[in-house]
């Protein structure tokens, strides 16, 4: 049976017919056909597109991983990286029950080694051997900022009660990857690694499917390789590296001047004087002798040498600016702006760090927490989620704000508020209140 036809007139256009959706093809017969399948594609994963996206040969993946690894050993780049990732690691990470059953929340909290949000006292954690550490995982996951991506492989175990438990998230270092396979719609399919003993070993490494992966990508659009924060720093790091090499050569060649021997009139053989100039050294017993009207001079540079220090500092500032860490320098030195302006701009950095922490929490919730729940209770079970406090929120600021609000009568000091304050300031749980005893009072 053919689909019914209807006539539609569009203003300014010729009349044409459209096929009305039917109950057989679209449940409920909606006015517009449901977009159940994609027509276009994400347009990633082609060799020619890789060349178009990155025009610097050594920054084309996977060669870029080695470059970013070298950059991470630069003092300024490392300082910016630590300024970005340090506050995220120091923030308070917790497991929000999110309406999940207590049994589910407790098992997930034990597996990911995170405290449960809203509880006063946390139970003692078991021994850490052969158990997952969220702190270590977070440190490795934040390497996505440097390399653009950081994959992990899930490894589970079965406990004595027959429950599937998370044993570890094994890092699959970016420098070991040979391929990141994606579907036409941009979804991740698998990753491939180089053999442990090298390509000549003849032992292949099977692809790791997406069902076993936890993939962190930094600033990902459609490409799971992401974009490294170091990409914007690369030009300035390269210029600074060359300037430092030239600066070192300048100091080596011109630091004390170049010795020149001036022979006496009629002295044809200057080999002895040349050797003396080459062997010239300072010391307690250093000295020399010259023929009449001969001389030894230390010749310095004539003119003005280039100011390498200013150039290197300028490149360092641009490296910091690429990571927003330059906002921390405002008001610290002449010409860097006022501290009041720096305090205002500091909020911009905090928002950037919050987004970074939130991206890690989202991936951890979707591909770690929810997978643990799926292993044991299925996809219909409600799952908790990983949350992180605002990065940079200090206890002093919280205490000051609470005092103002309580004094103004805006909020009351109730047990829920006390529990929250103790949790935020890492204070011990409140001791149970002792019942009033009149005999003790009289004594």
Structure tokens at 190: 């698998």
Per-residue pLDDT of the chain (443 residues; tens, 9 = 90+): 444 444 344 444 444 444 555 444 555 555 668 888 888 877 665 555 565 577 888 998 889 999 999 999 998 899 889 888 888 998 889 999 999 999 999 999 999 999 998 875 555 665 555 678 999 999 999 999 999 999 999 999 999 999 999 999 999 999 999 999 988 888 899 999 988 766 555 566 789 999 999 999 998 877 899 999 999 999 999 999 888 888 777 776 666 677 777 777 877 777 877 887 777 777 777 777 777 777 777 776 766 666 778 888 888 888 888 876 545 555 444 445 444 554 555 667 778 888 999 999 999 999 999 999 999 999 999 999 999 987 766 565 566 666 766 766 666 777 777 777 776 666 777 776 655 455 554 55
The residues that bridge with 193 in the sheet, in sequence order, are 177
Last residue of some domain: 186, 214, 231?
A: 231
What's the structural domain count of the chain? 2
Is residue 105 one of the residues assigned to a domain? yes
Is residue 271 one of the residues assigned to a domain? no
Is residue 88 one of the residues assigned to a domain? yes
- Angstrom distance (rounded) from CA 209 to CA 151: 11
Q: How many CB atoms lie within 10 A of CB 24?
A: 9
Give the 3-state secondary structure of residue 273.
helix
For residue 239, the model assigns a pLDDT of: 92
Contact by Cβ (8 Å): 113, 131: yes
Radius of gyration of the chain (CA): 33
For residue 24, the model assigns a pLDDT of: 46
Is residue 300 one of the residues assigned to a domain? no
For residue 1, the model assigns a pLDDT of: 47
Is residue 38 one of the residues assigned to a domain? no
Is residue 109 one of the residues assigned to a domain? yes
- Angstrom distance (rounded) from CA 165 to CA 154: 11
What is the model's pTM? 0.72
Give the 3-state secondary structure of residue 25.
coil
DSSP label at residue 61: T
Kind and range of the H or E element at 191? strand 188-193
Distances from the Cα of 269 to the Cα of 266, 272, 288, angstroms: 9, 7, 17
Q: Which domain holds residue 402?
A: 395-425
Contacts for 218 with CB less than 8 Å, ≥ 6 apart = 144, 145, 148, 149, 226, 227, 228, 229, 359
DSSP label at residue 366: I
Is residue 96 one of the residues assigned to a domain? yes
Contact by Cβ (8 Å): 138, 101: no
- Angstrom distance (rounded) from CA 308 to CA 125: 54
Could you please report the per-residue DSSP string of 30-53? -SS----S-SS----S-HHHHHHH
Is residue 384 one of the residues assigned to a domain? no
């Amino acid at each position: 049976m053919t689909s019914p036809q209807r006539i539609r007139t569009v203003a300014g256009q010729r009349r044409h017919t459209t096929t009305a959706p039917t109950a057989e093809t679209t449940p409920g017969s909606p006015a517009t056909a449901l977009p159940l399948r994609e027509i276009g594609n994400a347009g990633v994963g082609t060799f020619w597109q890789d060349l178009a996206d990155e025009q610097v040969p050594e920054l084309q993946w996977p060669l870029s991983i080695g470059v970013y690894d070298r950059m991470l050993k630069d003092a300024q780049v490392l300082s910016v990286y630590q300024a970005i990732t340090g506050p995220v690691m120091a923030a308070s990470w917790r497991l929000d029950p999110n309406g999940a059953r207590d049994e589910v929340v407790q098992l997930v909290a034990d597996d990911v080694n995170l405290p449960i949000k809203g509880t006063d006292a946390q139970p003692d954690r078991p021994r850490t051997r052969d158990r997952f550490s969220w702190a270590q995982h977070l440190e490795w996951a934040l390497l996505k900022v440097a390399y653009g991506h950081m994959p992990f492989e899930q490894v589970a175990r079965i406990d004595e009660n027959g429950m599937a438990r998370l044993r570890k998230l094994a890092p699959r270092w970016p420098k070991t990857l040979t391929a990141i396979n994606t579907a036409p719609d941009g979804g991740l399919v698998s990753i491939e690694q180089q053999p442990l003993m090298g390509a000549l070993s003849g032992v292949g490494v099977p692809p790791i499917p997406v069902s076993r992966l936890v993939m962190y990508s930094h600033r990902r659009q459609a490409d799971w390789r992401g974009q490294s924060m170091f990409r914007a720093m690369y030009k300035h790091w390269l210029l600074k590296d060359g300037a430092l090499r030239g600066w070192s050569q300048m100091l080596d060649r011109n630091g004390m001047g170049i010795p020149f021997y001036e022979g006496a009139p009629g002295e044809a053989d200057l080999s002895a004087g040349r050797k003396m100039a080459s062997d010239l050294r300072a010391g307690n017993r250093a000295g020399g002798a010259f023929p009449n009207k001969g001389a030894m001079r230390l010749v310095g540079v004539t003119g003005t040498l280039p100011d390498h220090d200013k150039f290197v500092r300028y490149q360092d500032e641009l490296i910091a600016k690429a990571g927003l860490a330059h906002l921390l320098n405002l008001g610290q030195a002449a010409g860097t702006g006022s501290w009041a302006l720096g305090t205002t701009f500091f909020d911009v950095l905090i928002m950037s760090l919050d987004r970074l922490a939130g991206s890690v929490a989202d991936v951890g919730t979707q591909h770690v927490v929810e997978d643990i729940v799926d292993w044991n209770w299925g996809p219909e079970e409600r799952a908790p989620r990983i949350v992180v406090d605002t990065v940079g929120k200090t206890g002093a600021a919280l205490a000051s704000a609470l005092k103002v609000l309580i004094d103004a009568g805006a909020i009351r000091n109730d047990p829920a508020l006390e529990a929250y304050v103790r949790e935020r300031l890492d204070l011990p749980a409140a001791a149970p209140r002792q019942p009033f005893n009149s005999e003790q009072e009289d004594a």
